[in-house]
Amino acid sequence: MCWLNERLMHIDDLADRVSFLSAELLNVLARWAYSPEKMIPSVRTREDVQRGKPLAPFM
C-alpha cells in the first residue's frame, strides 16, 4: 500500500507541474498576443496611402 501512496503523490506532483506550466504558457501567449508591436497591420487602399492614413491594427 505504501508504493501506491508514493505513486499517487508522484502523479499529484506531476499534475501540479503541468497545471503551473499550462498557466505560464497561457500567460506568455496572452502577453505576446496583446503586445502592440506584434499586431498585424490591416490593408490600406491607395486612397488611404495618398491621404496619409496610418495603419490600423487588424482585429
Q: What is the pLDDT of residues 10-58, one digit of tens each?
A: 888 888 888 888 888 888 887 777 765 655 555 666 777 778 766 655 5
Identify the sign of the CA torsion 41, 42, 45, 48: negative
What pLDDT score does 37 carry?
Answer: 61
- What pLDDT score does 31 carry? 77
47 compared with 59, residue with greater pLDDT: 47
pLDDT of res. 59 = 44
Prediction pTM value: 0.42
d(CA 56, CA 59): 9
Of the chain, the end-to-end C-alpha distance in Å amounts to 56
